[in-house]
């Protein structure tokens, strides 16, 4: 997340605080043998999944590595206004691929 806070006086000279923010994500999903993830389970124990297990899915053709990148549009929130989590969630700026299994940007990422 990145954001800018702006404070200006209102008509009574009181501070009016606004926040403009944006979500940004960049990642490469790959299967490093030395890494893994630990998933907490509801009954209090944890389950460890080493990336080596996931790498086997990749080498057999069931899974693949991929790049992920994206940013939301800039959103605005006025401090003192309705709480953001009480408003309905905004619709995505772009609806996605509608279940299509092809990757339209794939040609641009070849050779990485």
The model's pLDDT over 25-36, given as tens digits with 9 standing for 90+, comes to: 888 777 777 788
pLDDT, position 9 = 92
Read off the pLDDT of each residue in 8-19 and give the average, rounded to a whole number: 90
The DSSP secondary structure of 91-104, one letter per residue, reads PPSS---TT--S-T
C-alpha span between 10 and 100 (Å, rounded): 49
Each domain of the chain, given as residue ranges in start order, spans 1-23+72-98, 30-65
User: Which residues on neighbouring strands pair with residue 28, listed in sequence order?
Assistant: 67
- pTM for this prediction: 0.46
Main-chain phi, psi angles of 55, to 5 degrees = -60, -35
Nearest Cα neighbor of 64 from 110, 7, 16 is 110
Nearest Cα neighbor of 66 from 18, 20, 26 is 26
């Amino acid at each position: 997340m990145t954001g800018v806070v702006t404070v200006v006086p209102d008509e009574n000279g009181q501070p009016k605080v606004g926040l403009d923010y944006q979500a940004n994500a960049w990642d490469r999903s790959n299967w490093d043998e030395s890494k893994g993830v630990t998933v907490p389970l509801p009954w209090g124990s944890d389950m460890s999944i080493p990336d080596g297990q996931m790498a086997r899915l990749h080498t057999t053709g069931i899974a693949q590595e991929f790049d992920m990148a994206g940013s939301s549009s800039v959103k605005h929130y006025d401090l003192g206004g309705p709480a953001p989590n009480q408003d309905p969630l905004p619709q995505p700026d772009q609806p996605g691929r509608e279940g299509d299994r092809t990757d339209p940007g794939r040609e641009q990422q070849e050779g990485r």
